[in-house]
Amino acid sequence: MGLGCNSGQDAAGRIEVHQQATTEEAVEIMVAVRPREGVQTCSSNPATPYTLTLDDPIGQRRVLDTSLCPLRPLEVAPADLYQVD
């Protein structure tokens, strides 16, 4: 989530996984946005789609956003949505 001033631009190319922890019950993820360099105006920041591919199947675990308190569940695409060649 990008909360800083960004001159009305999306966060494409500046999104990164800041923290990730996996337990038997959940995959906890904190995604961060690197600030843009230089002076920025504070117009509204548009949403930026982001897809994170995990190394292991989620199974029955919940995927949680740890950047908020309380933790917020994240949407998970169905396993068969993407095909790997």
12-58 pLDDT, tens digit each? 888 899 899 999 999 999 988 888 788 877 777 788 888 888 888 88
Question: Does 4 map to a domain?
Answer: yes
- What pLDDT is recorded for position 1? 45
Q: Is 17 a domain residue? A: yes
Distance CA 50, CA 31 (A): 10
Q: Indicate whether this model's pTM tops 0.75.
A: no
Decide if pLDDT at 5 tops 60. yes
Residue 52 within a domain: no
User: Is residue 81 over pLDDT 70?
Assistant: no
63-78 average pLDDT score? 82
Count of the separate structural domains present in the chain = 1
- Looking at the domain assignment, is residue 46 inside a domain? no
Alpha-carbon gap, residue 19 to 42, rounded angstroms: 27
